[in-house]
Amino acid sequence: MPDSSPSSDSLAHPRGVPWLRLLAVAAVVAAGWAVLDRALVDRRPIVVGLLHSQTGPMAISEKSMIDAEVLALEQINAAGGILGRPVRWVIADGASDPQTFARQAEKLIREDGVAVVFGCWTSASRKSVLPIVEAADHLLVYPMAYEGLEQSPNVIYTGAAPNQQITPAVQWCHNTLQARRFFLVGSDYIWPHCVNAIISDQLAGLGDERVGEAYVAYGSSDVDEAVREIVASKPDVVLSSVVGDSAVAFARKLRAAGVLPDRTPVISFAVAEDELRIAGREDFAGHYAAWNYFQTIDRPENQAFVRNFKARYGSDRTTSDVIAAAYDSVLLWAQAVRESGTAEVHQVRNAMRFQSLDAPEGIISIDPTTQHTWRPVSIGRIRPDGQFEIVWSSRTAVRPVPFPLSRSREAWEEFVAGLQRRWGGAWINTSPRADRVPAATP
């Protein structure tokens, strides 16, 4: 009888051997692809810079911009990053000082190797950072309402241009409040001087009167002289571009002097929910502010944004226009990186010019010609709880016009250059006594 026991050959070559060989080959191939993937695909973090004031008189307004940008970056990383890469951020303190802003921008670009800088609040800080960004042919995303009168290929402006905040507020005061006598007050630096020039042109066109114009030293709480001038001139309305800690002192002194909202309302271009959260709300209640966003906007997208912001930073926190703009800025940049397939500055900068976003305040989009952002406009009355009752809204996004049509672009650029020359090359007036503005109709 034949031997039915397994042969030595069948023991040496079991049926499972081919599968083992296939598994071994697959492992080698997978390892090879992993090596190739690491060699060809950049997995290093994309580094971005957040440049705002964490100290000094502007910290009251700028710290929350950092919070908004970090929230957006954390959400991006939680969703897997961008192009398979995590995003890492470097936070730099501008210390409410234009020269410090410039030095920190240089460090972020040259030493930290950031792919973009999200930064600045005041126009003095932006004007100081601008030469650094332009010399490096880099990218600054500026998430703050400002005076316009500027257009740089190295800046994406995601806050309001003057026709998206300033001029609608003046027209509303004329039409709704029936104001004819206006007092203009601001902190003594580039933004308020430009804002008040724009307003003065508009008042002349409306046939209204500018009964006074006063400036508070930048970062100072000494507002007494400005308040005395307002009381003496008896305006129908006060238009305020006083910023930071100065705005808190200004509101307190106005109320103490009997300048109350039922008779002389103040329209602010620099006070929002976040400042009201910290400051004495009773001093501001009843007055107004003009912005592109308020926390009380009734949209599902905004409700989700507010909910996420409070979940991250605490139920006592509020959102505001600049918080929304800072948050939007990061998302617009991230979209541009994905679309470009790279974080390289020049390609992303070009791609950002064509981005749109269903933002908390509504649909916004970057205008490819001016690199400013289409945003809706609103005016709100300050409630005792520090929130805003929206009393007027454009409802849809308004096209940005960085250079108001009351003067030519060349004339506006010369006006800005003239201020800088008058202030010895700086963007803040440090000699206000030598630069008084007469109370006169333009």
**pLDDT tens digits for range 284-307:** 999 999 999 999 999 999 999 999
Question: DSSP code of 44?
Answer: S
Query: Does 258 or 30 have the greater pLDDT score?
Result: 258
**Whether residue 319 sits in one domain with residue 254:** no
C-alpha dist (Å) from residue 235 to 182, 213, 397, 439? 5, 11, 32, 12
Distance CA 192, CA 185 (A): 8
**Whether residue 417 sits in one domain with residue 359:** no
Phi-psi category of residue 202: left, alpha or beta, with phi > 0 → left and psi -120 to 50 → alpha: alpha
Buried b vs exposed e over 25-59: b needs ≥16 C-beta within 10 Å? eeeeeeeeeeeeeeeeeeeeebbbbbbbbbebbbb
**Whether residue 388 sits in one domain with residue 240:** yes
Q: Is residue 35 part of a domain?
A: no
Domain boundary among 358, 375, 392: 375
pLDDT of residue 39: 47
CATH number at residue 429: 3.40.50.2300
Q: Is residue 304 part of a domain?
A: yes
User: Which tokens hold the place of 119?
Assistant: 């930064």
**Whether residue 281 sits in one domain with residue 328:** no
What's the pLDDT band for 33 if we cut at 50, 70, 90? low
**Whether residue 173 sits in one domain with residue 64:** no
**Whether residue 155 sits in one domain with residue 199:** no
Contact between 208 and 182 (Cβ < 8 Å): yes
The predicted model scores a pTM of 0.88
**Whether residue 286 sits in one domain with residue 175:** yes
**Whether residue 229 sits in one domain with residue 179:** yes
Q: Is residue 262 part of a domain?
A: yes
Q: Is residue 33 part of a domain?
A: no
Contact between 154 and 138 (Cβ < 8 Å): yes
C-alpha dist (Å) from residue 431 to 21, 122, 215? 84, 19, 11
Q: Is residue 113 part of a domain?
A: yes
Helix extents (H) in 207-272: 224-233, 244-256
Q: Which residues pair with 291 in a beta bridge?
A: 378
Closest residue by Cα to residue 273 from 362, 167, 146, 380: 380
Q: Is residue 26 part of a domain?
A: no
Q: Is residue 38 part of a domain?
A: no
**Whether residue 290 sits in one domain with residue 303:** no
Q: Is residue 6 part of a domain?
A: no
Distance CA 201, CA 411 (A): 13
**Whether residue 371 sits in one domain with residue 401:** no
**Whether residue 172 sits in one domain with residue 290:** yes
228 lies in which domain range? 163-298+379-435
Closest residue by Cα to residue 294 from 378, 364, 358: 378
**Whether residue 151 sits in one domain with residue 124:** yes
What's the pLDDT band for 279 if we cut at 50, 70, 90? confident
pLDDT of residue 431: 82
Question: DSSP code of 285?
Answer: T
Q: Number of structural domains, the chain?
A: 2
pLDDT of residue 170: 98
First to last CA, the chain: 124
